[in-house]
Chains A and B, each alone.
Chain A
Amino acid sequence: SAVISQKPSRDICQRGTSLTIQCQVDSQVTMMFWYRQQPGQSLTLIATANQGSEATYESGFVIDKFPISRPNLTFSTLTVSNMSPEDSSIYLCSVVSRDRLTEAFFGQGTRLTVV
């Protein structure tokens, strides 16, 4: 299993500002993902965080709005830029090995409120 530390756990931010969320894993994992969970909704994949290269974004998400870094196998950050109230969501990082027999693990999430 993997233990994931995600911070901050919650924040209230002013519109137009940016917030960077950190995800630290206690072991080297090959794949890291960032999900968004809007109020009352399911989880939607934002992007795959690739080590040492640009993240792979899903349709509807762009790098200028959600820049992602992954400098090594155990750490990644997601920035929510130029925030608006519509960005109010829970953001979760997830890690998984390439072994398809194993489950994915999730951080505790960052609850973001934009006012």
Chain B
Amino acid sequence: AQSVAQPEDQVNVAEGNPLTVKCTYSVSGNPYLFWYVQYPNRGLQFLLKYITGDNLVKGSYGFEAEFNKSQTSFHLKKPSALVSDSALYFCAVRELDNRLAFGKGNQVVVIP
């Protein structure tokens, strides 16, 4: 089965500083990787995906992610964090039957 891991529980960052949320994957074959964000009392919103092509993927709200095959990682990044980026972030991989397998999630806290 495909899986992803998010090793950290909470990521604290000062407003204006770079934000990184880590994700590693374990898949057989080509990985289909996704990042979602969940704001309080909201559903999951799609941020970006890696299917194939360029290793640097750009997504919504200024986020990007770098696919690294040798390190089996797909870290989410934002050059300058905003207080409004405080939310729960999930990395996910698409399984062969099209379901998603999620990481445990990372709470991001951006400190003003």
Binding site for B on A (CB under 8 A): 4, 6, 31, 33, 41-43, 45, 48, 92, 94, 96, 98, 100-101, 103-109, 111
Contacts and interface: CB of A to CB of B under 8 A. Distances in A.
A111 B36 CA distance: 19
A94 B100 contact: yes
B27 interface: no
> Helix, strand, loop or mixed for chain A's interface?
strand
Given A43-B44, A48-B99, A101-B51, 12 more contacts: A31-B98, A41-B104, A43-B90, A92-B43, A92-B44, A94-B100, A98-B98, A100-B94, A103-B49, A105-B46, A106-B36, A107-B43
Nearest to B34: A103
A108 B36 CA distance: 13
Nearest to A107: B43
Interface of B: 32, 34, 36, 41-46, 49, 51, 90, 94, 97-100, 102-105
A73 to B, nearest CB: 15
B99 A42 contact: no
B15 to A, nearest CB: 25
Contact of B44 (A45, A98, A106): A106
Contact of B98 (A6, A41, A100, A108): A100
A31 B95 CA distance: 13
Contact of A33 (B32, B34, B99, B104): B99
B44 A96 contact: no
A106 B99 contact: no
A108 B43 contact: yes
B99 A108 contact: no
Could you say which of A96, A103, A105 has the most chain B C-beta atoms within 10 Å of its C-beta?
A: A103
